[in-house]
Amino acid sequence: MPIDITGIYFFMPVFSFLFVFVVVYAILAKTKVLGDQKVNLLVSFVMAIIFMNFSSMQLYVETMLPWFVIFIVCLFLALVVIAFSTKEVDKIMKPAFAWVMVAILVVIFLISAIKVFNPVFHPEYGVVSGNSPQIISQIRAMFDSSTSGTILLLIVAAVVTWVLVRKGKS
């Protein structure tokens, strides 16, 4: 039986905050619009906090983030396979390739926006909102298989990271 790791959804607000923070900081650092690194950190931190205060924007990030990560991982694996098989990645890394990847990312953003904001534009369809869980259900959730699977996944990731870092230093 596979491990149930749906408990990682508990950490989605943290992942959403970090995603917005990193993307905004990267854009500000790359464009050098504000110049100073400390100002970039402050602005990206404030924008991430503002972004997370609106539940619809947080839901948008939570909807878009898994697809974005899957796309980046698949792109990385495809480039690694191409690099090992042909050893000529420069032939593939053309501006047209970059534009196709940007177009795919735009499609991911648009589909996520349509899914999240469609109830705002069409309120007759209704907005699904969850009720806050009670204390008893939170205690039950702590001992759920999804929580156990998430904890096991985090422990395995920590051990693997520790082993890789330890071998890299010796």
pLDDT of residue 124: 52
Burial of 73-103, coded b for 16+ CB within 10 Å and e otherwise, reads: eeeeeeeeeeeeeeeeeeeeeeeeeeeeeee
Tell me whether residue 51 is in a domain: yes
Give the position of tokens 């109830």.
119
Tell me whether residue 47 is in a domain: yes
- Token couple for 73: 């991982």
Tell me whether residue 22 is in a domain: yes
Sign of CA dihedral 20, 6, 71, 90: positive
Tell me whether residue 162 is in a domain: no
d(CA 134, CA 53): 22
Tell me whether residue 154 is in a domain: no
Query: 13 to each of 39, 47, 52, 53, 107, how far by Cα in Å?
Result: 24, 14, 8, 10, 23
Full residue range of the structural domain in which residue 67 is found: 6-132
pLDDT of residue 130: 42
Domain total of the chain? 1
pLDDT of residue 75: 86
Tell me whether residue 20 is in a domain: yes
Judge residue 2's burial from the number of C-beta atoms within 10 Å of its C-beta, 0-12 exposed, 13-18 middle, 19 or more buried: exposed
Q: pLDDT tens digits, residue range 56-65?
A: 777 777 788 7
> 150-159 — which CB contacts under 8 Å span 24+ positions?
150/5, 150/6, 150/7, 150/8, 150/10, 150/11, 151/7, 152/3, 153/3, 153/5, 153/8
Please state the pTM of the whole predicted model. Answer: 0.49
Tell me whether residue 141 is in a domain: no
pLDDT of residue 68: 83
pLDDT of residue 23: 87
d(CA 61, CA 108): 11
pLDDT of residue 121: 61
pLDDT tens-digit profile, the chain (170 residues): 566 767 777 777 788 888 888 988 988 888 888 777 788 888 888 888 887 777 777 777 778 878 888 888 888 888 888 878 877 777 777 888 888 888 888 888 888 777 777 765 655 544 444 444 455 565 566 666 666 777 777 888 888 887 777 765 65
pLDDT of residue 32: 83
Tell me whether residue 98 is in a domain: yes
Q: pLDDT tens digits, residue range 43-84?
A: 888 888 887 777 777 777 778 878 888 888 888 888 888 878
Judge residue 48's burial from the number of C-beta atoms within 10 Å of its C-beta, 0-12 exposed, 13-18 middle, 19 or more buried: buried
